[in-house]
Amino acid sequence: MAEVGTIGRTRHVNLVRLLGFCFDDVARALVYEYMERSALDAFLARWGSDVGVSALLDIAAGVARGIRYLHEECDQKIVHYDIKPGNVLLDGALTPKVADFGLARLVSRAATHITVSGPRGTPGFAALEMWRQSGVTEKCDVYSFGMLLFEIAGLRRNFDEAAPTESQRWFPRLAWTKYEEGNLMDLVAEPSVAAAAGDVARRKEMVERMFKVAFWCVQQVPEARPPIGVVVKMLEGEMDIAPPVNPFHHLMAPPLATMPWTTTTTSGGDTVTAPVGLSEASKNLISL
C-alpha cells in the first residue's frame, strides 16, 4: 500500500501510471499501464546496440526528468531510493518510465536530511551513505542514476565477474581510467549499421556527455553531486559540463609505502622524512 500512496500522488510522462490495485485477503496486485519494451536492463542487453547513441541519450534524459519531477516538482519531495535499470520500464516509443515505488518516501521540502531505518536500495546502485547510520538526502537518487547511466552509456552491466582483470570487473572505474586516457569510445559497443549512421563526432560527443554526467552523479560526497535538475540540463545539452573530479580516488589511492617521500621540518623544528601529503600532526608523530 505504500507504493499506492506514493505513486497515486504523481502524474508525469516519465513515471509509470498506476491504473488500479487489488488489496484483500485473496490477492494483492498493482495494475500498471502496459509497457511493450519491458524493463531497461533487459532492453539494453537485447536491443541496446541497435537503437543508436541518440536514442540511449534520450532514454537517460527521460529517466532524469522523471526523477526531477519527484524531487523538484511535486508538492512534497519524493525520494525513490531504488533507481536502477530494472526499475525503469519502456513503452513502444522507448519512453522511459520510473517504476517500483515500494521503497519511496514522501519528504517535506523543509527537511534537509532524511533518517532511514536500515539500508535501502540495491547493492551496486545504492549510494554509499545508504549503508551508514546517518541522514541521507535526495542525492542518493542522483548517485543511483549515475550508476544507471554507466550501464546505458556502456551497454553493459557495471560488474562483470568474467572480466580478465580486477580493474576491468567494475565498469565505472574502468570508464574513469579510459576517460583520463582520452579513450572513452573504446568502451562503447560497436553499433549496428543503422545505429551507426550519422555524424561520428556528434556520436562521440553524446557518449562523452553521458559518461561525464555519470562521473559527477557518483561523487562520494553527496554535496558534490549535482541536483537532478542540473543533471537534466547537462544531458539535454543546455548546460556545459565541467571536467569531472575523480569519483573513485578513495579506491585508487596508492599504498602508503609506494607514495613519494620528502624531507621536511615539522612545526616543532624536527626534520622528518614522510610521504607527500601527510598531515602535520602525523609528521609530528613520526618525529617522536
Active site residues: 82
Cβ-contact 114, 105 below 8 angstroms: yes
Cell 536502477 appears where? 84
Instruction: Round to whole Å and give the CA distance between 3 and 13.
Output: 18
Instruction: Round to whole Å and give the CA distance between 255 and 253.
Output: 7
CA atoms within 13 A on the CB side of 170: 12
Mind giving me the DSSP string for 188-203?
SPPPPHHHH-S-HHHH
Residue 47: alpha-carbon gap to chain centroid? 21
| Residue 77 DSSP code | E
Cβ-contact 188, 207 below 8 angstroms: yes
* Distance (Å) of CA 136 to CA 95, 100, 158, 218: 30, 20, 24, 15
| Residue 279 DSSP code | -
Using only C-alpha atoms, the chain has a radius of gyration, in whole angstroms, of 22
Instruction: Round to whole Å and give the CA distance between 50 and 52.
Output: 6
Identify the H or E element spanning 41: helix 40-51
Instruction: Round to whole Å and give the CA distance between 56 and 44.
Output: 9
